[in-house]
Amino acid sequence: MGVSNFFILLCLILCASSVLVCNGGITSSFVRKIEPSVDMPFDSDVFRVPPGYNAPQQVHITQGDQVGRAMIISWVTVDEPGSNTVVYWPENTKHKHSAEGTVLTYKYTNYISGYIHHCTIKKLKFDTKYSYEVGLGLTTRQFWFTTPPQIGPDVPYTFGLMGDLGQTYDSNRTLTHYESNPSKGQTVLFVGDISYADHYPLHDNRRWDSWGRFAERSTAYQPWIWTAGNHELDFLPESGESTPFKPYTRRYHVPYKAAGSTAPLWYSIKRASAHIIVLSSYSAYGMYTPQYSWLEAEFPKVNRTETPWLIVLLHSPWYNSYNYHFMEGESMRVMLEHWFVKYKVDVVFSGHVHAYERSERVSNVAYNIVNRACTPVKDQSAPVYITIGDGGNIEGLANNMTWPQPSYSAHREASFGHAIFDIKNRTHAYYNWHRNDDGYAVSADSHWFFNRYWNPVDESTTTVDQSTTTVS
């Protein structure tokens, strides 16, 4: 057998094995059965309208300040504005507090929204369970949430990760899978693309309403930290809708002013031992733009002795080895990556590609267009990039990958799922990704993160014990 034939045979053997290892990392051999992605019909149980006249619906909460002592509570009433008041109280007490919110409506083509309420409740106690009520008279509805612990470097905290969710049957499986995970997420970091209303003619905004009712079983009880994706743009100038992000910004308020931001599409929060920066892939980010200037001022404010874990959320991935949206994040990477390396971001979560991928710690900051140094290289000051746009939306699965697997790609798989990022202390966090097809406690990919500020150990897949990555 000639040498060339030997290597061809070796490649065929590797391709037939349970895990395909290329000159990059691991491409999972798990093959999900290809099924059509179909939105659930409006009469599905998950879209049920709560009973009673003008009953509050689409209830969702998010952090309302920088540190976690405020909560923005939002809901919709359909028949009339009703009450703007939120009544709330700590667990095991009878003394109730109240706060007044605001109400707004919007029109989008031939759709007129219900009455959208937003109320920020403030001066909450850390690490405390609160009950809250919205509505009026016989149609009051009650929910609860737990505030985060006080900020500190060794405060443990567990984040859930989802993106590109939509409202298909697969979306429902993803949300159910997350809710049933024994590693209970306390807050969801959502990396964009919510309702996919723009999939329909005139961007049928009834699908914003149905999504709000579908997700309420989670969004009313734990904060979701929102990131805007391309399906939040809702830009439709041919039908008179020339204001981008119109339904999204009316429905989903975030504490951007508390972060010194001038727009709700980029902002930051602190939660437990994490400093979380949210960016907009679909807003201007070139030099001297508002987003660029805000981020330039934001990074130096991060205090790693207070919040050692530095997390960035954005929608369009910078490192992606699928043939979907390939290189779409490149211009943003060129503009901003040097800051991610300089300030030693721990991890970047993104969506957009409807599959899963985890990168090595790499950067491409050496490339300056004339030096030909255009290959990403291992860089222990760089983030791990994780694409988790695998919520299960109507556009279906991204299952066409680039070959060979690039060296920056540590693990990839074309499946739907969610992830958990579990911060243990200032030095260690445990991350695991769960595909929908498995039992709730099964990790399809897992990884120990070593903090870049307090414990900058080389954690790459090729240098750590392979038992930290579980593959079927």
Average pLDDT over residues 110-130: 98
C-alpha closest to that of 307 among 350, 341, 346, 339: 346
How many domains, in total, are found in the chain?
1
308, 426 contact by CB (below 8 A)? yes
Output the six-digit token pair for 237: 């100038």
pLDDT of residue 171: 97
Residue 383 lies in a domain: yes
pLDDT of residue 371: 87
What is the rounded average pLDDT for all residues in the chain? 92
pLDDT of residue 351: 97
Output the six-digit token pair for 385: 């990039």
State how far the Cα of 210 lies from the Cα of 195, in Å rounded to an integer. 8
Q: Write the pLDDT tens digit of every residue in 178-206.
A: 999 999 999 999 999 999 999 999 999 99
Residue 210 lies in a domain: no
| Residues paired with 20 in a beta bridge | 27
pLDDT of residue 23: 58
- Domain that includes residue 407, residue range: 151-192+265-461
Output the six-digit token pair for 452: 């870049």
State how far the Cα of 94 lies from the Cα of 240, in Å rounded to an integer. 51
117 is catalytic: no
State how far the Cα of 193 lies from the Cα of 280, in Å rounded to an integer. 12
Predicted confidence band at 465 (pLDDT cuts at 50, 70, 90)?
A: very low
Amino acid at site 373:
A
Residue 8 lies in a domain: no
Q: Write the pLDDT tens digit of every residue in 141-176.
A: 999 999 999 999 999 999 999 999 999 999 999 999
Residue 423 lies in a domain: yes
Q: pLDDT at residue 463 above 70?
A: no
Predicted confidence band at 462 (pLDDT cuts at 50, 70, 90)?
A: low
Residue 96 lies in a domain: no
Least confident of 1-15, 272-286, 446-460: 1-15
pLDDT of residue 327: 86
C-alpha closest to that of 31 among 414, 446, 353, 356: 414
Q: Write the pLDDT tens digit of every residue in 326-338.
A: 889 999 999 999 9
State how far the Cα of 74 lies from the Cα of 63, in Å rounded to an integer. 11
Q: pLDDT at residue 12 above 90?
A: no
- Residue in 60, 325, 354, 418 annotated catalytic: 325
- CATH at 433: 3.60.21.10
pLDDT of residue 368: 82
pLDDT of residue 464: 35
pLDDT of residue 467: 32
Predicted confidence band at 35 (pLDDT cuts at 50, 70, 90)?
A: confident
Q: pLDDT at residue 15 above 50?
A: no
309, 423 contact by CB (below 8 A)? yes
Least confident of 394-398, 403-407, 460-464: 460-464
- Quickly list H helices, 187-329: 206-219, 246-251, 290-298
324, 281 contact by CB (below 8 A)? no
Residue 348 lies in a domain: yes
Average pLDDT over residues 118-134: 98
Q: pLDDT at residue 395 above 60?
A: yes
Looking at residue 71, the DSSP 8-state letter turns out to be E
Q: pLDDT at residue 256 above 90?
A: yes
Amino acid at site 154:
D
Predicted confidence band at 25 (pLDDT cuts at 50, 70, 90)?
A: confident
Residue 9 lies in a domain: no
Residue 439 lies in a domain: yes
Q: pLDDT at residue 344 above 60?
A: yes
446, 454 contact by CB (below 8 A)? no
State how far the Cα of 405 lies from the Cα of 330, in Å rounded to an integer. 18
Q: Write the pLDDT tens digit of every residue in 63-92.
A: 999 999 999 999 999 999 999 999 999 998
